[in-house]
Chains A and B, each alone.
Chain A
């Protein structure tokens, strides 16, 4: 996936970050511009497609980031830090201390309503979206963070607050299930 941020060199982002830390709002606006899509997409996934709520939470995420910019140590990518803030903000909103490790997949398929994605009409996106609904919430989030938000396994584990081994375990189980559900697709055609 080609996020705007992906097009920016890490050096450019580091430069904006350094200027933003000194109070340069224009530099921070550049950072918001380059990361807004991935943060909003993550929150849309978490809020089950509620675009307005996702944008509100994304806005609060960036405000929190601005207020605590000096707390960012730079150990991880800025995107990872922002995703972590976004997830924490979402959990505060729904008043849950953490993500449930398992969630009833039947319940999930009733609650989720695919179709908010503008590309839902496309066959691949639609079928993958439907297949994702058959997963537990944590499995779905693991897939989304690793494949849709383009985070490494370590970064996704950090964002979701899971040990790396646990994340990989969820991913393996999710992929096994998705392999069954997406059997009609010829995966080679997507490569």
Chain B
């Protein structure tokens, strides 16, 4: 405390005399130094981590965007193919001159090869997606 802050005011002495006793350590220093060590390790880890350059982030985002666009295009063509097949079917039935072309559901056992093909296709697609991720 500066000399100029001292006064002979008895109240000042009274207030100083009423100050609480110093606190014993009680393990505080040890706990604090443990926290200091943890903070220092966290800071060292943070320093070691190389920040990703913005250009790298931009390239990754562009690649992801291209992949997404490719999948969307594939889906659009697939849906267009199904719609075109259905339209062709309806047109063939409608334009049939002697009603020889009809729509009849095939027997269940005739669906088995198609189901097998679709199952293989689904497994192949799932395998490809899992390898990509």
Which A residues contact B (CB, under 8 angstroms)? 1-4, 25, 28-29, 32-33, 36-38, 40-41, 55, 58-60, 62-63, 66-67, 117-119, 124-125, 128-129, 143, 146-148, 150-155, 175, 178-179, 182, 185, 187-188, 190-191
Contact = CB atoms under 8 A, between A and B. Distances in A.
Contact of A128 (B1, B5, B14, B28): B14
A153 B5 CA distance: 7
Nearest to A185: B14
B22 A190 contact: no
Nearest to A186: B10
Contacts of A3: 22
Interface string B6-45: 0001111111111111110100110111011101100100
B16 A63 contact: no
11 contacts: A28-B33, A32-B32, A36-B25, A41-B20, A59-B31, A59-B32, A66-B40, A147-B18, A148-B19, A175-B9, A185-B14
A182 B18 CA distance: 12
Contact of A125 (B5, B10, B18, B32): B18
A178 B15 contact: yes
Interface residues of B, number: 30
Given A3-B22, A41-B23, A191-B10, A58 B28 contact: yes
9 A-B pairs closest in CB distance: A187-B10, A128-B18, A1-B19, A147-B15, A37-B22, A148-B19, A191-B13, A190-B17, A190-B14
B133 interface: no
A29 B29 contact: yes
